[in-house]
Amino acid sequence: MEKTYIYLDYNSSAPLHPNAWEVMQPILSASSAAYNASSVHYFGRLGRKFVETARSQVAKLVNAEVNQVIFNSGATEGNNTILLHFAKEYPNETILITNGQHPSIMEALNILDNVKVIPLDNNGLIQTSALEELINQETKVSLVSIAYANNETGVIQNVSELSDIVHKHGALLHCDATQSAGRIPINIKQDAIDFLTLSSHKIGGAQGVGALIIGLCGQSPSMLFGGGQEKHLRAGTQNVAGIAGFGAAAQASLQNLSQYKNPSYLRDKLENKLKELSSDIIIHGKNAPRLPNTSFFSIKGMNAQNILMALDLDGIAISNGSACSSGSSKSSSALKAMGIDKEIASSALRISTGWATKESDIDAFLYAFEKIIQRMESK
């Protein structure tokens, strides 16, 4: 009998949504022609139609205008594009980044000279007073980059309030909305976000596709030069199938947002049951607004890697944080930024749900997790 697997690691990568596969399949399986969206013949025009339909669908997901969406390979490229642009264009001005973000942001500390970190409080939030103080300490700040929601804890920042402060001081705001898109409503206009980065595979689209959404700030950062694709801002032949799938996944995500009456139901059920299993359970970020699909928790004294392996043997896939650092011995960067004890951070586990998650998946995890804890406590 074939083993059944349960997937609870959507913040690392979501399974391909059926709607995305439906639009991608005929593009990928076409054997008589190729859909190069830059070609002027019939198949090129058809490829262009796929791309532009997706551009509209992605724009609607974050309430942007169609012409603001620039397709690329994902949020890592988008984040790099923004940071490198401002470092090059404004070498004597400071870039501020939120502590505990994705490595595609945090690595800027190692390669750029003018980057400084905005601290988080013990709930994982940026305090407006801390941001104001940091900006005032600098001669000039060109860019402030924050994660709309943290990829590990799921903690959501007050983007609108932070945006007011950033713009008051003459800087521009970049938000990595990779984990937020499709899970909570995003409005780039209402929050006055100047640059927004997205990844297709977080919402059920293809891997290796994403978008940089450029606001009406007068800046047009570019990463690759060559052809005229994506308004000359991102050269290279477009991944028509991947982009089409991204659009379909964005459309499905937007529809799901309007349908869910209580999107945090599974997360709340999970955490309530965890508290019943052990009084030592620590829910990280519980006192802050969080994504409805994300739970990051620890049991002091437990080894996260051992639990991950035990769950994997039971056919249950979860993670211990960012997919870019999972499997390494490094503790969670988000928890470190929040001042969490290293021993507690080393036992942290993350469960993240998505479009295909069922309540029975949570029940199966809880059953397996309880058995694992009992075995470990008996040793």
Measured between alpha carbons, how far is 82 from 20 in angstroms, rounded to an integer?
28
Measured between alpha carbons, how far is 323 from 103 in angstroms, rounded to an integer?
10
Is residue 321 a contact partner of residue 334, using CB atoms and an 8 Å limit?
Answer: yes
Report the catalytic residues: 324
SS3 assignment for 248-280 = HHHHHHHHHHHHCCCCCHHHHHHHHHHHHHCCC
Measured between alpha carbons, how far is 174 from 191 in angstroms, rounded to an integer?
11
Helices 265-277 and 359-378 pack at an angle, to 10 degrees, of: 20
Is residue 346 a contact partner of residue 300, using CB atoms and an 8 Å limit?
Answer: no
